[in-house]
Structure 1
């Protein structure tokens, strides 16, 4: 896979996973789950603004803001769904601060590139892909 369109932060996250032995990668995912940035007060007060990610079995909601061409991704995922929460955290941290064009250029297969496909179910990887695709769709609509 080429790094042509993988933004630096997402590439760094991917490399962190791939440098670990496969057995230790879930632990790193749990660290990301604990680092999911809180949503803004506005989103917290108006949860209806966020979009449910139907591809996730857990109730995951995302909301994209584009201000002056810069993207901020807000995501919520329940603590009892640490895998999903970890994926949401990777994307929220990795997409926030990028331009709309940079977000739209993130490869759709990024979730498959971080070395977790043998450790978590295809359904969960599909959930992360769903989060990415919905984020891209919201960016496209708001830029």
Structure 2
């Protein structure tokens, strides 16, 4: 498993998942689901500012903000997912922990195969894996839009 092409935050997360025995990976994902930050009140009051990721089996919404302009602007990620959707929340939490605060250029450079690198493909349905890929795709698309690309 190569992680050299990942930002440090993501590299650590991928390594953490690979250090856990396979039967415990879902438990680790569940732990991540509990640490997904709540939406700030300003977004909770304006759900239209969030984009639904329809590929997810559970209702998941996200938005991206840039703190400044240009490729070096730090990315802020915000997710909304129901507590009864721990897999979806876990994936969102991983992306939040691994990408939030990074410069836009680094987030855009994250390989599209990131979801497969966590070693969950045997434990999670292909549909759920597509949901995580779709989250990453939406994040990148929103960054491109905010950068005017």
Relative to the length of structure 2, the TM-score reads 0.93
Tell me the residue number matched to 1:29: 29
Relative distance call for 1:130 and 1:82 in structure 2 (3 A) is same
Task: Give the C-alpha shift of residue 3 in structure 1.
Answer: 3.0
Relative to the length of structure 1, the TM-score reads 0.96
Tell me the residue number matched to 1:13: 13
Name the SS for the 1:75 alignment partner. Answer: strand
CA distance in 2, matches of 1:87, 1:112: 12
Task: Give the C-alpha shift of residue 4 in structure 1.
Answer: 4.0
CA distance in 2, matches of 1:127, 1:63: 15
Name the SS for the 1:79 alignment partner. Answer: coil
The C-alpha deviation readout for 1:79-137, integer Å capped at 9, x for no partner, is 11100110011011211110010000001000000010000001001000000000000
Gapped runs of 5+ residues in structure 2? none
CA distance in 1, matches of 2:95, 2:80: 12
Tell me the residue number matched to 1:107: 111
- Deviating above 6 A after TM superposition, structure 1's stretches of 4 or more consecutive aligned residues are none
Moved more, 36-45 or 115-124: 36-45
CA distance in 1, matches of 2:60, 2:106: 23
Gapped runs of 5+ residues in structure 1? none
CA distance in 2, matches of 1:85, 1:3: 23
What is the aligned-residue RMSD (CA, Å)?
A: 1.0
CA contact (8 A) 2:4 2:11 kept: no
